[in-house]
Chains A and B, each alone.
Chain A
Amino acid sequence: MIEVKDLTKRYAGRTAVDAISFAVEKGEVVGFLGPNGAGKSTTIRMLTCFLSASEGTAKVAGYDIYDDSIKVRQHIGYMPENVPLYPDMRVSEYLNFRARIKGLRYREAKRAVSEVMDICSLAEVERKMITTLSKGYKQRVGLADALVNEPDLLIFDEPTNGLDPNQIRQARELIKRLGDRHTILISTHILSEVEVTCGRVVIIDQGKIKASDSPQNLIRHLRKPSEILLEMSGDAESAEKELLKLDGVNHVRRLDDRAKWTSFSITTDPNVDVREDVAALIRGENWKIRELASRAASLEDAFVDLVQEKRGETEERKVRGQ
């Protein structure tokens, strides 16, 4: 559905997108992931023919973004970042305008608008001015707009930006449902979103593609030490020493002492699970155990790992903060 080859966008003294290549197959739901300023929006704007590439080519639905720009745009339903809408139009009026401008005839537009209002649950605000809508509703109007001409490919630029947790959940559900029938490219910097909705992730940083794989694979290939959490009661001092002696354990850190309970964080070699050994050790010493858990590596770890390779500490914290 999308074929990107050596796509490059240069601004004065800065390369926003640096010769990236990737492909999205029909039916896939792909997360386009990267920190702010990584080149996500620029790439999407080139795909939607809002900006021209400095070099390289891309094809959407088989049409070249430069030579067949109108055809490309006919196949894309695009929701730009922050969902810009005309505030002084009514919801149905706006969607009708968008349907018509995307080439639907009067009757088709009418039918399509009532259909997408159904999908996005907009019936109750049909006659309201867009300016009076809540952020969540505006987002849904944007989604309905993207869907209205039944495009093959949906492109969402940060679709859950600025929504409250409840609305984020609703938006995700909706996107997930749409994934059954459409090819979707979602740009985001919210990692949990990708883990939930996307079958594949393309990670971009500083204009370059860092990884392209399923979230599960990315986590699996994570070359990061595993961490185990332990909460126990007993002789904390000797426990710390004994734990360090276990095979594969690199580091033991005491987190806090609360009454007679002590928490440890145990760092081991990658892909080594020492939980059974820990349990056996504690049983042997007749200590008590209240928690023993391995902290699962998340996509966030994979992301931070890939994106932070060459960056300083301060920037790492910034990205973690998001």
Chain B
Amino acid sequence: MRAFFIIFLKELRAFFLSPLAWTVMALFTFLNAWLFASMINAMQMRVSSRSLIYNFFDSGWFWMGFFILFPLITMRLFAEEKKMGTIEGLLTAPVRTSEVLLGKYFAAVVVFLVIVAPMYFFFPLFQAVTGEKAAFHGGAMLGAGLGIALVGIFNVAIGTLASALTSNQLIAAMLTFVFAMLHYFLGFLHNFGVVPGSVWTGGMTYFSTTEHMHALTSGLIDSGPVIYYASFSILLLAITYHVLESRKWRV
């Protein structure tokens, strides 16, 4: 536990003492602010039956920017240590591999949450400035926050695994991006279901980030996505653990 916190804090320092985190945060916030403003303009021109928060998180533009975040946050976690050789010093110190892994993982999750936090405050800010009380309700805010956090822990886990697989940060970043995207688009497959409401369609909906967000941003907190993202994150971390340990016996 002690080593976990030391590594967690060291990783956080490394993130926030480098310009990368701040640059990414500024760009991400800027892009989303732009998207937010466009969304309000669009809703002014055309009446929408959905809330602002629903439309915002339904937009493909949001997710494009969103998925670029994960490679940037996670690519260096293990790939950099492998490249520089510092992994040897780290893992020959009296620490458990799981402590190293979780320390790095949770540091990346916190970095992710800090980077997306400003975006989350667009909504209450908009409400405070315009006094548009009916724009959305508290449940939708909570649901959206939870949804972003869930998608975050899942994709950071993908990135952590990708980073443990290679010593090349660029390859780690590409892998993360591709897998995060694949997973996202997997969620659209159910649209191609032959018979609406069939087992196929229902099954594919279970993987759909957009469907999850539809429910969550309507203020409906379903245990389904929570269990889905949490269990897959744990699975991905377990695989990462074994990837890290595999150096010992790989021939």
Q: Which of the 9-residue segments B37-45, B82-90, B146-154, B155-163 touches chain A?
A: B82-90
Contact present for A50 and B92 (CB under 8 Å): yes
Q: Which residues of B contact A76 (CB under 8 A)?
A: 92
Are the C-beta atoms of B94 and A145 separated by less than 8 Å?
no
A320 to B248, CA, bound (A): 33
Tell me if A27 is interfacial: C-beta within 8 Å of chain B.
no
Inter-chain contacts of B27 with A (CB < 8 A) = none
B2, B85, B94, B249: which contacts A80 (Cβ < 8 A)?
Answer: B85
A179-217 to B contact mask, C-beta < 8 Å, 1/0:
000000000000000000000000000000000000000
* Assembled-state Cα–Cα distance A102/B87 (Å): 14
Contact with B along A55-99 (1 / 0, CB 8 A): 000000000000000110110101011101111100000000110
**Is there a chain B Cβ closer than 8 Å to A2's Cβ?**
no
> Which residue of B has the minimal Cβ distance to A103?
B94
Query: Is residue B234 contacting chain A, with contact meaning CB distance below 8 A?
Result: no
CA distance A278 to B207 in the complex (A): 93
Q: Smallest CB–CB gap between B68 and chain A, Å?
A: 23
Flag whether B247 is at the interface (Cβ < 8 A): yes
Contacts of A97 in B (CB 8 A): 6, 10
Main secondary structure of the interface of B (DSSP, over half): helix
CA distance A71 to B94 in the complex (A): 7
Given contacts A52-B248, A88-B18, is CB(A101)–CB(B88) below 8 Å? no
* A12 within 8 A of partner (CB): yes
Q: Number of A interface residues at 8 Å Cβ cutoff, please give it.
A: 30
Bound state CA distance, A119 and B3, in angstroms? 26
What's the Cα separation between A71 and B96 when bound, in Å? Answer: 11
- Any chain B CB within 8 A of the CB of A49? yes
Structural contact, A12 and B93, CB atoms closer than 8 A: no
| Residue A127 CB within 8 A of the other chain | no
Q: Which residues of B contact A71 (CB under 8 A)?
A: 94
Q: Are B86 and A98 in contact (CB under 8 A)?
A: no
Q: Are B251 and A86 in contact (CB under 8 A)?
A: no
Q: How far is the CA of A65 from the CA of B63 in the complex (A)?
A: 47
Is B189 an interface residue when CB atoms closer than 8 A count as contact?
no
Interface pair B93/A50, CB less than 8 Å apart: no
* CB of B99 to closest CB in A, whole Å: 9
- Could you tell me which B residues sit within 8 Å of A by CB distance? 2-3, 6-7, 10, 14, 17-18, 84-96, 247-249, 251
Chain A residues packing against B (C-beta within 8 Å): 10-12, 45, 48-52, 70-71, 73-74, 76, 78, 80-82, 84-88, 97-98, 100-103, 145
25 A-B pairs in the complex with CB atoms less than 8 angstroms apart: A45-B88, A48-B92, A52-B248, A52-B249, A70-B95, A70-B96, A71-B94, A73-B93, A76-B92, A80-B88, A80-B89, A80-B92, A84-B88, A84-B89, A85-B86, A85-B89, A86-B14, A87-B84, A97-B10, A100-B6, A101-B3, A101-B7, A102-B94, A103-B2, A103-B3
Give me 7 other A-B pairs in contact (C-beta within 8 A), A49-B92, A80-B88, A97-B6 excluded.
A50-B88, A50-B248, A52-B249, A73-B92, A84-B87, A98-B89, A101-B95
